[in-house]
Amino acid sequence: VVARYSKRFYIRANMCSSLSARISELPEEAWTDALIGYQKCQLASIEFESFFPERKYRLVVQRTPVEEGGQLSLLDGRFIVRTVLTNDWDSTEDEVVLYYHQRGSEERVFDEMNNDFGWGHLPASDMSTNTVFMLLTALLRNFMMWFKQLISRKFGSNIAETSRMKNVVRNFMTVPFKWVVKGGQMWLRLYTDRPYDCLRL
């Protein structure tokens, strides 16, 4: 189904004993050194023949040495082995792995939308209303990203550009205050040492 509806696909492949044995038989010259996510590893490609062998799918293998005291792999104690199944033979191994890893950042966006902007509990029972709601909240998230960049410059470590909505509410929006009368005028007194006065545009 994936091959029918997509030009290129990148799928995390599960390890098994037969696949692990085949990977362990690869000669050392088949591996190339790479840096993925600030972590040194080695990459290699093999033709995947477990199903649809006529389609010549590609299995990109990433092996990372186990650090001393780290969790050992059951299949190969020396390395943590991860694989990506793809039909892309044009890209290099590191391009395939880096492209696949972009999935994680998109999943974090969906997690933020589900938990911070209400996508987890849509307001209506019809699709058109929910579509409008999702589009408006997606625009609101873009505004909030700009707003967090603005206030993170003044508030320092309390609010970062990557802060979730709960943290913004706790460290920016929630503040005790009192309206006081001075010289016949109403003044808003904030009982906090946060630098709200620095946010004037």
Q: For the beta carbon of residue 5, count every other beta carbon within 10 angstroms.
A: 7
- What's the confidence (pLDDT) of residue 74? 47
DSSP secondary structure, 34-93, as one string: EEETTEEEEEEEEEE-SS-GGG-EEEEEEEEEPPTTSPPPSS-TTEEEEEEEES--SS-H
Per-residue pLDDT of the chain (201 residues; tens, 9 = 90+): 888 888 899 998 888 888 888 888 888 889 999 988 778 899 999 998 888 888 889 999 998 887 765 555 544 567 888 899 999 999 999 999 989 988 877 888 889 999 999 999 999 999 999 999 999 999 999 999 998 888 888 777 678 888 888 888 888 888 888 999 988 899 888 888 887 777 765
Asked if 12 and 101 count as a contact pair (C-beta separation under 8 A), the reply is no
- The amino acid at residue 153 is R
Nearest CA to 99 out of 117, 114, 84 is that of: 84
